[in-house]
Amino acid sequence: MQTAKFQSSNDAGVLSANQGSVSGNAVASSTGPSGLPEATKQLAKSQLERVGKYITGFCAALVVLVVVSLIFLVAQHGLSTFFVDGINPIAFFTGDTWNPHNTGADGMPLVGALPMIVGSFSVTLLSCVIVIPFALGAAIFAVEINPTLGSKILRPALELLTGIPSVVFGLIGLMVLVPWVRSWAGGTGYGILAGSLVLAVMVLPTVTSLAIDALESVPATYRQSSYALGATRWQTIWHIVLRAALPGLLTAIVLGMARAFGEALAVQMVIGNAAIIPSSLTTPAATLTSILTMSMGNEAMGTVYNDVLWSLALVLLVMSLVFILIVHLIGRKSVSNNAQ
C-alpha cells in the first residue's frame, strides 16, 4: 500500500495550491514507503503551466498587436486624404481622372480612383471566371475520378505551382502572354486580359486545393446512396456532391478572388499601368496594387499624392476584410442550413 504523495513528498499538496493548505494533511492512515521518492526541487507544476501559458499567450497577443497596428496605421494615413486634405470621398471613389499632381476645376487635386477600382475588380472577376472550370475540374478529378493520380501527381503539381514566386509569373506574362495577346488582339498586348490570365494561373492552386477540401468533406454516404439509386458517377457528382459542397466551393472562389485582388507585382508587370478606365480587355489599364507599387516610392510622405496612395492601400485592406466577411457569412449560412 502506498502513501498518498500529497501527504509525503513535495509541499505543493493536492489541496494546498493557492488556497492555503488544509492543516493535518495526513488524514489517510496508510503507511509505508512513499509513492514516489522525494522529487528534486523543480518548478511547481502549476507555475510551469502558467509560464507556458503566458509565453505562448504573449506570442498570440503580439500577432494580434501587429494586425491591429497595421489596420490602424493604414487607416490613419488612408483617411487623412479625406479628413486632413479635405478631398471629397465621392470624388475619390467616382472620379475617373487620376492625376494627383494637377488640380481640377474645383481646385482640388485630381484623385479619381475609379480607374484603378474598376481595373482591380475587372481582373479579379475575369480571372475567377477563367479559373473556375479548371479548379473545379481538377478538384473533381482529385476527389471523385482518380484520387491516386490526384494525390500522386495533381496535388504535388499544385503545391509546386503555389511555390512559384509571383514575379516569375509576371515575367512569363511579360515575355509570353503579352506578345501573344498583342499578336492575337492587336494593341500593345498589355491590359486586363493579360493580367487576368496571369492571375488565373496564380490563384488556380489556391482555389483548387480549397475546392478539393470542400469535395472531400462531403460524406461518402451521400455518394453511396446516389449510386445505390442507379445514378452514374457524373450524375452523382453534379447533383449530389457539388450541391453538398457548394458553400465550400464558394469559399474557395472568394478566397481566390481575395488573392487575385491583392496581387501586386505580377499584375503590375503585364497590365500596362495606365490609370484610365479601360475601354477594352486589351488596352493598358491599372489596378490599385499596380499604382501603389509604381508610385509609393516617388512621393514624399505627407503630400496629398502620398495620402491618396494610402487611401488606395486602405481600399485594398478593406476589400480583403470584406472577402473574409463573405467567407464567414457563407460558413454561417451553411451551418444554419445543415442544422435545419
Q: What angle do CA 177, 181, 185 make, to 5 degrees?
A: 175
Per-residue H/E/C for 42-68: CCCHHHHHHHHHHHHHHHHHHHHHHHH
The residue count for binding other proteins (CB under 8 A) is: 116
Is 293 an interacting residue with respect to other proteins (CB under 8 A)?
A: yes
Taking CB under 8 A as the binding criterion, the range among 19-27, 86-94, 181-189, 241-249 that sits at the site for other proteins is 19-27
If the CB atoms of residues 97 and 162 are measured against other proteins, the closer one turns out to be 162
Sole binder of other proteins in the list 2, 151, 224, 337 (CB under 8 A): 2
Is 129 an interacting residue with respect to other proteins (CB under 8 A)?
A: no
Sole binder of other proteins in the list 193, 276, 313, 330 (CB under 8 A): 313
If the CB atoms of residues 31 and 279 are measured against other proteins, the closer one turns out to be 31
Sole binder of other proteins in the list 296, 299, 331, 334 (CB under 8 A): 296
If the CB atoms of residues 36 and 184 are measured against other proteins, the closer one turns out to be 36
Sole binder of other proteins in the list 141, 180, 222, 227 (CB under 8 A): 141
Is 27 an interacting residue with respect to other proteins (CB under 8 A)?
A: yes
Q: How far is the CB of 115 from other proteins (least distance, A)?
A: 18
Sole binder of other proteins in the list 112, 262, 272, 278 (CB under 8 A): 262
Site for other proteins in 145-184 (CB under 8 A): 145, 153-154, 156-168, 170-172, 174-176
Q: How far is the CB of 186 from other proteins (least distance, A)?
A: 22
Is 105 an interacting residue with respect to other proteins (CB under 8 A)?
A: no
If the CB atoms of residues 5 and 97 are measured against other proteins, the closer one turns out to be 5
Is 75 an interacting residue with respect to other proteins (CB under 8 A)?
A: no
Is 231 an interacting residue with respect to other proteins (CB under 8 A)?
A: yes
